[in-house]
Structure 1
Amino acid sequence: MKLSILDLSPAAKGTSDENALQQTIDLAIEADQLGYERFWLSEHHQLKHIASASPALMIAAIGQATKQIRLGAGAVLLPLHPPYLVAETHRQLAAMFPDRIDLGIGRAPGAPPEVTTRLAGNFLEAVRRHPERLDELLTHLADDNIRPVPSKLPEVWLLGTGRRSAIAARERGLSYCFGAFMSASPASEAFQHYKQSLSDARLRAKTMIAVSVACVSPSAPNRDLALMPHDQEHPPPIVGLPAEVATQLKSVSRESGADELMIHIPSASFETRHSTIQHLADELFA
């Protein structure tokens, strides 16, 4: 099973942002050593208890500290950025860390309204033009007149939670990641739209489903996992002993038909995040 990690760089109460960012780097180093497929970083701006605002800077730092795990943005919030700059930045990352860079694209705000205005001006207009701006990004990304020229371009993924994003990915031959932990809709519906009429020339595109999980350590079953508040509109995280969580992940993989799984550990506790990835590696990579 190909298993990956999405980390938000949460800052626990009493933890500085500097420590939160370093904990994310340490988590990525451990994931690399354990054999995880990808380590993605989220983009958030001025959100309480989230330390990281720049996936690209985190990717650069983690790339220097790891050897083989793929690194990516999960996701770059395209309405907030010029498509040319996103393409140029990720071409450079791909040149720095050959065949290890993913570029996940999303269109959520990821910030309070006043911050989206500072970053994007008319955010709603940028969202309206998202298909056009996505095509512009893909054009720049493939343009070898833009320096640097990496030996292999970033692997582009479109992130979403429903039919519209699945169809947009399918039409462009992009890999698709369904954020199940943020959606009340079933992944199977989105994947059905994605795979429908996917041309033979685009069959290299992959699917992934992202779910929230946390493992209860068998050696410390009463330890507080410090889970983040759960939004009742979204599915609850999968929580249990490592074998129980692993079994449910296998079920998610089988029922969704996704090629890969990604886990988000909704805890500000570094100990919870660290032990969860260790336990799941023991259960699923043996």
Structure 2
Amino acid sequence: MKLSILDQSPVLSGKTAQDALRESMKLAQLGEKLGYTRYWIAEHHDFSGLASSAPEVMLGYIGANTEKIRIGAGAVLLPHYKPYKVAETFNMLATLFSNRIDLGIGRAPGGSAEASIALSGNFLENVRNMPNSMKDLLHFLYNNYPSDHMFSKISAHPLPAIAPVPWILGTSIKSAIQAAEYGTAYAFGHFMSDKDGIEIVNTYRNAFQKSRGIQEPQVIVTVSVICSETTGQAEELALSWFLSKIQTDKGEKNKGIPTVEEVRKYALTSDEEERIIEMRNKMIIGNPKEVKKQLVKLQSAYHADEIMIITITNSYESRKKSYELIAKEVW
């Protein structure tokens, strides 16, 4: 089973954004040491609890401190940017770190409406134009505009020996169809979706068209996982994360993820208990053997080429331990 890491660079209670970003680099190093296939870092805007607003910057830092693990954005939110600049940035990364760069593309705003306006103006109009933006991006990455196109006279320098591998990230039929039509790999966000993910992934496979990038469909399924030495410890770590999400949903100022001690003192309301059940159903939580069993089941259900794991706990140590336990059990 191929496993990879998705990181949102969480800022934990009592920690700073600088701490979070340094821990992200350490997580990528750990993933490389343990044998994870790739490490991706997400893009968010105006979230005090998430430190990575510019994954392309972090990838330069992480690439310089790792040697072989594939690294990428999960994802660059294309409606905010011009395709040419994205291609230049990732071509430069691919020049620095040859045959290691993935370019995940998403269309979510990644933040509030105000943040979206500050970034790119009319976000909804940019989303509507995303099919054209995606086509332009692929042409720039592959350096293959038709000779009669105005952009055929320019290239997104530097041109790497091996181009970044484009992935479309999504949680819907629409994103699956786009990935299939463009001939890109597809990463499905199981941890974010309430829809029938298996049907969505099958739609991608059935509609896939060969491209310069890849000849066969490639699928990553991303799932939220918390693994600890015992099931009880894993459940306590998960509850800390659930309470943090509940606070965020209520619009409360980020307080970091509660400690286990704080969780034990917290009295849940009935509404909060229902919300936790919803979140719990999307996650894999347990001891190493339980987690492996569920990962195998998930991979089998999706026929996924790879499983990407996102883990957020109330300490960076327990997060790293979760990835370590999973790697030891699976491999």
Give TM-score scaled by structure 2 length: 0.82
Residues 1:217 and 2:229 are matched in the alignment: yes
Give the aligned partner of residue 260 of structure 1: 306
Q: Deviations over 1:84-106 (max 9, x none)?
A: 11110000000000000000000
Residues 1:59 and 2:59 are matched in the alignment: yes
Residues 1:204 and 2:235 are matched in the alignment: no
Structure 1 residue 228, shift from structure 2 partner: 4.2
For the residues of structure 2 that align with 1:136 and 1:199, how far apart are their CA atoms? 18
Q: Is the 8 A contact 2:99 2:162 kept in 1?
A: yes
For the residues of structure 2 that align with 1:208 and 1:77, how far apart are their CA atoms? 18
Judging by fraction of residues, say which structure has more helix: 2
Give the aligned partner of residue 161 of structure 2: 151
For the residues of structure 2 that align with 1:223 and 1:259, how far apart are their CA atoms? 28
Structure 1 residue 203, shift from structure 2 partner: 3.6
Give the aligned partner of residue 71 of structure 2: 71
Q: Is the 8 A contact 1:11 1:268 kept in 2?
A: no
Change over 3 Å in CA distance of 1:214–1:138 after alignment to 2 = same
For the residues of structure 2 that align with 1:258 and 1:136, how far apart are their CA atoms? 28
Q: Deviations over 1:115-172 (max 9, x none)?
A: 1101111001001111111111111112283311101001110000010000000001
Number of equivalences: 285
Please tell me the residue identity of whatever aligns with 1:27: L
Q: Is the 8 A contact 1:228 1:267 kept in 2?
A: no
Residues 1:227 and 2:227 are matched in the alignment: no
Please tell me the residue identity of whatever aligns with 2:110: G
Question: Share of identical aligned residues, percent?
Answer: 41
Pairing 1:46-195 to 2, within 5 Å after superposition: 46-143=46-143, 145-195=155-205
For the residues of structure 2 that align with 1:33 and 1:208, how far apart are their CA atoms? 21
For the residues of structure 1 that align with 2:85 and 2:92, how far apart are their CA atoms? 11
Secondary structure at the counterpart of residue 241 of structure 2:
coil
Structure 1 residue 269, shift from structure 2 partner: 2.2
Q: Deviations over 1:225-265 (max 9, x none)?
A: 23244574664321100110111000000011111110111
For the residues of structure 2 that align with 1:205 and 1:99, how far apart are their CA atoms? 19
Q: CA RMSD in A?
A: 1.9
For the residues of structure 1 that align with 2:242 and 2:15, how far apart are their CA atoms? 15
For the residues of structure 1 that align with 2:80 and 2:234, how far apart are their CA atoms? 42
Change over 3 Å in CA distance of 1:219–1:94 after alignment to 2 = same
For the residues of structure 2 that align with 1:192 and 1:52, how far apart are their CA atoms? 32
For the residues of structure 2 that align with 1:223 and 1:250, how far apart are their CA atoms? 20
Residues 1:270 and 2:316 are matched in the alignment: yes
For the residues of structure 2 that align with 1:259 and 1:212, how far apart are their CA atoms? 17
Give the aligned partner of residue 25 of structure 1: 25
Q: Is the 8 A contact 1:10 1:268 kept in 2?
A: no
Structure 1 residue 222, shift from structure 2 partner: 7.8
Q: Deviations over 1:16-73 (max 9, x none)?
A: 1111110111111000010000100000011131111111111111111111110000
Which blocks of at least 5 consecutive residues in structure 2 are unaligned? 145-154, 247-274
Structure 1 residue 218, shift from structure 2 partner: 3.9
Give the aligned partner of residue 247 of structure 1: 293
Secondary structure at the counterpart of residue 74 of structure 1:
strand
Give the aligned partner of residue 34 of structure 1: 34
Please tell me the residue identity of whatever aligns with 2:47: L
For the residues of structure 2 that align with 1:152 and 1:133, how far apart are their CA atoms? 22
Question: Which has more radius of gyration?
Answer: 2
Q: Is the 8 A contact 1:10 1:267 kept in 2?
A: no
Q: Is the 8 A contact 1:77 1:107 kept in 2?
A: yes
Structure 1 residue 195, shift from structure 2 partner: 1.2
Q: Is the 8 A contact 1:187 1:209 kept in 2?
A: no
Give TM-score scaled by structure 1 length: 0.94
Q: Is the 8 A contact 2:179 2:208 kept in 1?
A: no
Q: Moved runs in structure 1, 4+ residues, more than 6 A?
A: none
